[in-house]
Copies of this chain bind each other. A is one copy, B any other.
Amino acid sequence: MAPANRRCHPLTSEGPGARLNGPMDLFLTLDAGGTSTRAIVHTADGVALGYGVAGGGNPTASGAEAVARELRTATASALGMAHVSPGQVTQALAAMAGSAVSIAGVEEGLETLGVRAPLQLGSDLEAIFASGTASLDGVALVSGTGAAAVVVQGGTTTARSDGRGWLLGDAGSGYWIARRVIRAVTADLDRRGPRTALTDALLPAAGVVGDRNTDKDVLLDQLVALLYAIPAPGTARFAPLAFDLAGTDHVAARIVDDAGDKLATTVLALHSADRSVPLVAGGSVLFRQEALRTRVAGLLRGSGWSGSMHPVSDGTVGAICMNLRSSGVIVDAAMHPRIVQSLHEIRAPRP
């Protein structure tokens, strides 16, 4: 979730498509997340013609080559579904975390498909923001594997809080929650910490054979072997256990509450943010866990935050908006929901 070198065209007062060469010019929008990568072929009106999805594409976690490969796969699917010539794509934008280092590799991959439009790089956090609102000013708060918040002004990031990865930060993220779960279970088995239902949930989820009546050293030796084999942010997969049990288990409830506190603190540290602007809440953890969003919203309201909260599943709508805006299309409050609807329809399973 590092800031990206985005080529940002100024918005103009011309109408939709005014700066395009012709009515058949098409857009390719890519959205690379940690767990999946999406490609959309769409018109200047934001009508989705083709959609493709492939594997994870976070350049810091899986390497630039893997990102380029997944983006190419998703693009091939989207072009195939749209039944259009790759040469018709005149505008391409990829929203992703990390720096622009990998853009050449992605461009090469697209060229092998016949896409010759220059590729712009956009920030994944700005894309999540633009997915939730047509406003160009507001705040995005993300909690997925990692966690961060940004202030967006005029469509561009002007301040940032957290998002420094599993060691330095990402407070309230999936990794942060999962690490708390893992340590609570270890302390429970050692009787250094309170008894928690997280133990009976984590042991089978991690692949440990035996229940808590088994000798604790046997269980812990297995847990050590299994968990250290997962690269650091990957243990975030166990975060949902805390949400599953938060209604009935004190330890799980405390972890979820603390995650909410951390995320609210991350937003409130953005001192330059106007507290009446919209707040877009994204990332897999924040999108899926309504209880977490409710806690964050309550804490923000208690601190004088009056802006509305808009949950989004990913940054794909926002990446489309960024792609359109960079060629002069005005994406306003009337057009934004049409993009959401068009993407929703093309993503829906077909008979």
Using a CB–CB cutoff of 8 Å, the interface residues on chain A facing chain B are: 2-3, 160-162, 164-165, 167-169, 171, 179, 182-183, 186-187, 190-193, 217, 220-221, 223-224, 227-228, 232, 235, 265-266, 269, 271
| Set of chain B residues within 8 Å of A186, measured between Cβ atoms | 162, 164, 168-169
Distance of A182 Cα from B193 Cα, bound (Å): 24
Contact A165–B224 (Cβ < 8 Å)? yes
With A161-B192, A191-B271, A192-B162 as given contacts, are A167 and B217 in contact (CB-CB < 8 Å)?
A: no
Contact A160–B217 (Cβ < 8 Å)? yes
Contact B182–A227 (Cβ < 8 Å)? no
Q: Give min CB distance, A235 to chain B, whole Å.
A: 7
Partner of A192, one of B182, B235, B265: B265
Pick 20 A–B contacts, CB within 8 A, sort by A: A2-B221, A161-B191, A161-B192, A164-B186, A164-B220, A164-B224, A165-B224, A165-B228, A167-B179, A167-B227, A167-B235, A168-B182, A168-B220, A168-B223, A168-B227, A169-B183, A171-B183, A171-B187, A192-B266, A193-B265
Q: Give min CB distance, A196 to chain B, whole Å.
A: 15
Contact B192–A269 (Cβ < 8 Å)? yes
| Set of chain B residues within 8 Å of A191, measured between Cβ atoms | 161, 269, 271
> What is the interface of chain A mostly: helix, strand, loop, or mixed?
helix
Q: For the complex of A and B, list the 4 residue pairs with the smallest distance between their C-beta atoms, beginning with the closest.
A: A192-B269, A168-B186, A191-B269, A169-B186
Q: Which residue of B lies closest to A262 (CB)?
A: B192
Distance of A305 Cα from B232 Cα, bound (Å): 38
Q: Give min CB distance, A297 to chain B, whole Å.
A: 18
Of the candidates A164, A182, A223, the one having the most CB atoms from chain B within 10 angstroms of its own CB is A164
Distance of A232 Cα from B179 Cα, bound (Å): 14
| Set of chain B residues within 8 Å of A179, measured between Cβ atoms | 167
Q: Give min CB distance, A183 to chain B, whole Å.
A: 6
Distance of A169 Cα from B186 Cα, bound (Å): 7
Q: Give min CB distance, A85 to chain B, whole Å.
A: 41
| Set of chain B residues within 8 Å of A190, measured between Cβ atoms | 161-162, 169, 266, 269
Distance of A266 Cα from B269 Cα, bound (Å): 35
Q: Give min CB distance, A263 to chain B, whole Å.
A: 10
| Set of chain B residues within 8 Å of A162, measured between Cβ atoms | 186, 190, 192
Distance of A232 Cα from B2 Cα, bound (Å): 21
| Set of chain B residues within 8 Å of A235, measured between Cβ atoms | 167
Q: Give min CB distance, A193 to chain B, whole Å.
A: 8
Distance of A288 Cα from B235 Cα, bound (Å): 34
Q: Give min CB distance, A208 to chain B, whole Å.
A: 12
| Set of chain B residues within 8 Å of A217, measured between Cβ atoms | 3, 160
| Set of chain B residues within 8 Å of A265, measured between Cβ atoms | 192-193
